[in-house]
Amino acid sequence: MISETQEEQACSYVLGLLSDAECAVFEKEIKQNITLSMLVASLNNVTISLARSVPKTELPVEAKQRLLAAISQLNQQTVRFDKHRSFGFLPWAIAACLVAILYSQWNISQRNEERLQISLSQRESELKITQKELAEVEIASITAQRQLADQLAVSDSVRAELLSRVTALEKKDFIAQAKIAVMSSKLKDRPQAVAVSLWDQEKQNGLLVVENLPILDAGKDYQLWVIDPGIAAPVSAGVFKVDADGKVRITFKPNQSVPAATTFAVTEEKAGGVLSPTMDKMVVIGGI
């Protein structure tokens, strides 16, 4: 390998632009560096070829006479020419310099291209590594998503099972804590009518089961009442209808707190219910 400085020195050496001291140093470098020696030989051959390609021109007679007169005035004094300045033709020198510059630029361009190729190769390697890493991350992400989906499915199944167990326990707990009130019929034409109320005092809600009640006409509803001796008026617990067999099973909750429910009753009222029970329309009634 040779440096850019050595290339410039080689061009100057061939053109005879180096001093004697610089020539001596450079010639030692030529002997020690085969690549540099080959470069100098190549540039020398090019410059010689260019010099030989310059067309020969015959000097005018007057110019030739002036030149001879100038030489005779030197009194036959010997003029020493530097061996490195033997090429004195201006066109040849310009061409040789141009060749040297072009060669230097071409060499630099080749080096830059090699560096670019190395850089591109490195970038391609890095890109392949990055793509591989991204693929691995994507696979890991898909695997994690599947695992999460499986865990969620298991979690949903477990939650459904727990809810089912809790519901069953709540039902058992409700039955265990509920106070039961059996309501007997007040209907002369339907003495077999009956209703049972299960009341949870703590939760303030209950379950009503009715059988053998007559189907009401349009615009009528049955209304459930909760009676507390400490409250002046019965408390409404909602309205309901029975099916074709005169049966119904509903959960209920009074529209206000009942500290001590002792009696439950059902009356026949207009659709949507009323604020106070119609006592002569009593259907069933019973206490805890």
Judged by average pLDDT, the poorest of 20-24, 220-224, 246-250 is 20-24
At residue 82, the pLDDT reads 45
What's the rounded Cα separation, in Å, for the pair 139 and 210?
Answer: 62
- Residue 166 vs residue 219, higher pLDDT: 219
Residues 6+ positions from 204 with CB-CB distance below 8 Å: 253, 254, 257, 258
What's the rounded Cα separation, in Å, for the pair 46 and 94?
Answer: 13
Q: What fold characterizes domain 179-287?
A: Immunoglobulin-like (2.60.40)
Structural domain spans, the chain: 4-127, 179-287
At residue 40, the pLDDT reads 82
Predicted confidence (pLDDT) at residue 248 exceeds the cutoff of 90? yes
- The whole-chain average pLDDT of the chain stands at 79
Task: Give 11's pLDDT tier (boundaries 50, 70, 90).
Answer: confident
Predicted confidence (pLDDT) at residue 244 exceeds the cutoff of 90? yes
Task: Give 88's pLDDT tier (boundaries 50, 70, 90).
Answer: very low
At residue 103, the pLDDT reads 58
Which of 36-40, 173-177, 237-241 reaches the highest mean pLDDT? 237-241
At residue 80, the pLDDT reads 46
Instruction: State pTM to two decimals.
Output: 0.44
Extract the runs of DSSP E, i.e. beta strands, from the chain: 179-185, 194-200, 205-211, 220-227, 235-240, 248-252, 263-270, 282-287
